A and B are shown apart, each in its own frame.
Chain A
Amino acid sequence: MKNSPQDNLKKENRFELLRELLLEDDREKFNALSEEIVMREKVASRVDPLIDAKLNELRENFPVEFGEVITDTIKTQIRDSQDEVVDALYPIIGKLIKKAIVVEIKKLSDNINKSVKRTFSFKDYFKRKVSGVNEGDAALQDAFKPVLEEIFIIEKNSGILLGNRSTENIANKDMVSGMLTAIKSFAEDAFSKEGQDLEDIKFETFHITLYNFNTIYIAIAISGVQTLDFKEELNNKIHNFTEIIFDNRSNLENEKKLNKLIVEHLIEG
């Protein structure tokens, strides 16, 4: 049976009435929310410029208002964590100095190349240019290739061995690191001015290089002839290695982890 238009109108009125009844509470809440938002917008439009002005004022006067407090806080932090700060800065300062030296060496190298170019024949110059090194250096490199025989990471004052890597079986590495520290202390006390560190112990074909940091030093025994390239590469490796170990000082308290880092960054790296 078909609905008449009157029937349809009656149904719509009924739905409208039902909707009014069901949504009455929600409508009230909606109106209240709407009023609250309008109120907030009104308040915000008055308060925001004041807050912005205060923030700008604070930004401009920050160094005057808080500079002294922040400086004191930083000073206290640095004073209380001197070892950590110095260890963190060592590799960075080292890199900066190295960069400057590399620039100067590059200039020197360019000057030497100019002289070589003028002095030697085209044929000799061409040979060196192709190989990248001079013939004498190349022959030496082949005959006496440098090898890292021993790497010791040693606590500076106590001489306690924190980590190591050896190609030979040294009977008592702890004793060696202790005696090395004693010899280092003796030499520094006897010969150096205050604050200077022993950096090299040289035998005929054997060389112990000591890289000194604030709380530790790294002793590397190298056999063979060290070229400039080798030394530079080793210096880079040391800087990267120390950056990693000083970044998280717990590395120095875990011998196995430290030994793994030595292999990764100084031997294989």
Chain B
Amino acid sequence: MISKKVLLVGNFGVGKTSLIRRFVHNEFSEDYISTIGVRVSTKVIQTNKESLKLLIWDVAGTNGDQTVPKAYFLGASAAMFVFDLSREETYINIVKQIDMVKELSGLKNIVVIGNKRDLMTADKLHILLEKVDVTIDFITSAKENENVEDAFKLLGQQSLK
């Protein structure tokens, strides 16, 4: 089976760990878990051709205020940048943050996810999408299990490119 390292990056509290919990364990914890440093999980997914084992590195603090060992980004085959749709501070510098992830990881494309759809009304979401300067690949809700599987599937496909 092919194994690939993939990254999950984004500010504290945007729901990265919740997305992983939903994806890996298929359950959602209401407990707020602020990730410190990194947490590694694994999940086997099916691609068109074969099984793919994802080694998911949930990396914290990529907003520039925290220092994360650069080595966390090395050897990754794909990365997902997660921001919180309900908190502007998590996407206000999104272009800069994504560029930093690209620079550290050497990856050309990053999957962009707007999480916490369950906290947004349709109108608010519409206004927000106008503000964000990058293409968002999926709008997800870890709480309501919306688009989570598809987001990770895209991440898996990116890792094989």
Interfacial residues, chain A to chain B (CB-CB below 8 A):
155-161, 172, 174-175, 178-179, 181-182, 185-186, 188-190
Contacts and interface: CB of A to CB of B under 8 A. Distances in A.
Given A157-B71, A182-B40, 17 more contacts: A157-B5, A158-B74, A158-B77, A159-B40, A159-B57, A160-B3, A161-B3, A172-B42, A174-B42, A174-B55, A175-B40, A178-B5, A178-B57, A182-B57, A185-B71, A185-B72, A186-B38
Contacts of A179: 39-40
Q: 4 tightest CB-CB pairs across the interface, nearest first?
A: A157-B75, A158-B75, A178-B40, A185-B71
Nearest to B44: A174
Contacts of A189: 69-71
Contacts of B3: 160-161, 174
Interface in B2-22: 3-5
Contacts of A181: 40
A188 B75 CA distance: 16
Contacts of A160: 3-5, 55, 75
Interface in B35-50: 37-42
9 contacts: A158-B5, A158-B77, A175-B40, A175-B42, A182-B57, A185-B72, A188-B69, A189-B70, A189-B71
A156 to B, nearest CB: 7
Contact of A182 (B38, B53, B77): B38
B71 A188 contact: yes
- Per DSSP, are chain B's interface residues mostly helix, strand or loop, or mixed? strand
Interface of B: 3-5, 37-42, 53, 55, 57, 69-72, 74-77
A182 B74 CA distance: 11
Contacts of A157: 5, 71, 74-75
Contacts of B55: 158-160, 174-175, 178
A57 B156 CA distance: 62
A182 B5 contact: no
A160 B2 CA distance: 10
B70 to A, nearest CB: 7
A181 B75 CA distance: 11
B2 to A, nearest CB: 10
A13 B38 CA distance: 108
A185 B37 CA distance: 11
A156 B38 CA distance: 16
Nearest to B76: A158
B91 to A, nearest CB: 26
Contacts of A185: 69, 71-72
B41 A175 contact: yes
A182 B69 CA distance: 9
A160 B75 CA distance: 9
A161 B41 CA distance: 13
A189 B72 CA distance: 10
A77 B48 CA distance: 37
A179 B40 CA distance: 6
